[in-house]
Amino acid sequence: ASTLRLDNRPFKLNDLLNTVESQLNVLAQAKDLDLSFIVDEKLPASMLGDESRLQQILTNLVGNAIKFTNIGSVVVHLYRSQPGYWSVKVTDTGIGIPAEAHEYIFEPFSQIDGSLTRQNSGTGLGLSIVRQLTDLMGGYVTLVSEPERGSEFTVTLPLVSTKKREMYE
């Protein structure tokens, strides 16, 4: 990620979410999952940032949540998390992740072994890319999960409004 450059331009949050939702809703519907987006009204409608990289983060997180959820829902919640920051929390009712896997799940090519994950094969790069892009943007990602209880991934990023073109306080 060290060679990646961020494109810092104004974007509309709803446009970003509509793109992600239209890409992934088909996958959720195919599995009869409820995919919902909740946006805190305290978030500005327009922000500065790299929209395509944010789309990649959201697509990877929500795509993973759908992939590893067979019954129930995937909820994407965007909100003001602390002064100057906003968060995207993706919560699912999927298979969950054992505690011993939490430390390496963000490493490239890491996948949890087991029959359920073998059914849902992928490259093992999705969460690694999420971590790299989040770090590059000056944010961080957290995970709360346990087997059979689903997962909750939260990406927290600096919030820059287009109105002031400075850090939001």
State in words which class domain 9-167 has: alpha beta
Which of 27-31, 74-78, 114-118, 134-138 shows the lowest mean pLDDT across its residues?
Answer: 114-118
Convert the pLDDT of each residue in 84-132 to its tens digit: 999 999 999 999 999 988 888 888 765 555 444 444 455 567 899 999 9
Domain chopping of the chain, boundaries: 9-167
Token reading at 88: 């995207």
CA distances from 66 to 34, 50, 59, 100 (A): 10, 24, 10, 22
Convert the pLDDT of each residue in 37-47 to its tens digit: 999 999 999 99
Taking alpha carbons only, the member of 150, 84, 88, 144 closest to residue 116 is 150
